[in-house]
Amino acid sequence: MSLALPPAEESGVPPDLGRNERRTWLAALLVAAASAVQVGAGLAFGSVALVANGAHSGAHVAALAVAGAAYWVARRNAANPRLAHGAGRIGDLAAFANAVLLALAAFGLAAECLSRLVRPEPADYPAALLAAAGGLALNLACMALLRPALADRRDPSGDINLSAAHLHVAADAAVAALTLAGLAAAWRLGWAWADSAAGLVGAALIAHFAGSILRRAGAALLDVRQSPALEAEVRHRLEAAGLVDPEVRAWRTGPGLSAVAIRLAAPSSEAPERVQQALEGLPGVSRISLDLP
């Protein structure tokens, strides 16, 4: 049989969800403004990298809208009894979708830059440089807005949705910086190919960012065991309570939360009460399941 012990927290939504949601929508507005400026300037001044950067910035606007909508949906469904482990997975699903969008943006940017390497076009470099610098400034502001807490950046239990949104604008800022370098080289050194080459380097960087989020969000959605420290703590507490050789598995259910499943080698009628006492006050756990053969 399986016994579900009372959870510490079941909503699965991060405590700072409201803050993250507001900042994500504000960043979406700023990136939309940067995208419009870059596309318009690129068309007016003949910079392929600037047009491509602005175009994939439009994809980032869509991605930030998906991230913001995920926070809204998670907030609306925080107490939904149909969600077995709460609404935390909604943000993970949005992060995975955004990583796919990011990978597609990298492919589109690379294709456009390759075509322009074959057929370079003249550009108004000074004006294009000014527009690229403005876009970079806006993206840096968005990066500051969406900057995850230090513990979230590589922590599997952190807010992956916010990390994905942050990586979207970070990728945009990196490409804008590379565009500046390419435009400067083309203008000052006469390297007409530098503008498109900068875009290709940016595409490779975007693809790297996309792969990082795909791995994190995919692992969360597939219930990959990512909490060895939590499993070790649970095992230590159970063994200290006299429960011999317990099998412990933990997986992510949302930002900062995990579910724990326990199987005892020699269960007894008192096992549920002893497990509950041993794990009382365990932080970061949304549900504890005890399997009794």
d(CA 24, CA 62): 11
CATH 3.30.300.90 placement within the chain: 2-6+225-291
- What the block records as the tokens of 219 is 């692992």
The answer to whether residue 246 scores a pLDDT higher than 80 is yes
- Residue 284 to residues 21, 247, 257, 264: CA-CA distances in angstroms? 22, 19, 5, 22
Q: Which residues are CB-contacts of 132 (< 8 A; sequence separation ≥ 6)?
A: 38, 41, 47, 49, 50, 53, 176, 179, 180, 183
- What the block records as the tokens of 1 is 């049989």
Q: Angle formed by the axes of helices 125-146 and 17-45, to 10°?
A: 170
| Nearest residue to 99 via CA among 165, 30, 22 | 165
Query: pLDDT tens-digit profile of 135-150?
Result: 778 778 888 888 876 5
Q: Which pLDDT does position 145 carry in this prediction?
A: 83
d(CA 236, CA 230): 10
Residue 149: how many CB atoms within 10 A of its CB?
A: 11
The label of the residue with tokens 């063994």 reads 239
Task: Write down the CATH number for the domain with range 2-6+225-291.
Answer: 3.30.300.90
The torsion angles phi and psi of 260, rounded to 5 degrees, stand at -125, 130
Q: Which of 8-12, 42-46, 102-106 has the lowest mean pLDDT?
A: 8-12
The answer to whether residue 233 scores a pLDDT higher than 50 is yes
Residue 185: how many CB atoms within 10 A of its CB?
A: 18
| Nearest residue to 94 via CA among 112, 78, 72, 117 | 72
Q: Which pLDDT does position 154 carry in this prediction?
A: 52
Query: pLDDT tens-digit profile of 24-69?
Result: 999 888 878 877 877 777 777 776 656 766 676 677 788 889 989 9
CATH 1.20.1510 placement within the chain: 17-221
Residue 151 confidence class, pLDDT cut points 50, 70, 90: very low
| CA 195 from centre of chain | 29
Any idea what the Cα angle at residue 253 is, between residues 248 and 256, rounded to 5°?
A: 95
Query: pLDDT tens-digit profile of 256-275?
Result: 778 888 888 776 777 778 88
Q: Which pLDDT does position 56 carry in this prediction?
A: 63
- What the block records as the tokens of 105 is 């943006």
| Topology (CATH level 3) of domain 17-221 | Alpha-lytic protease prodomain-like (1.20.1510)
Query: pLDDT tens-digit profile of 166-194?
Result: 887 887 788 778 878 877 877 777 777 77
pTM exceeding the 0.95 threshold for the entire prediction:
no
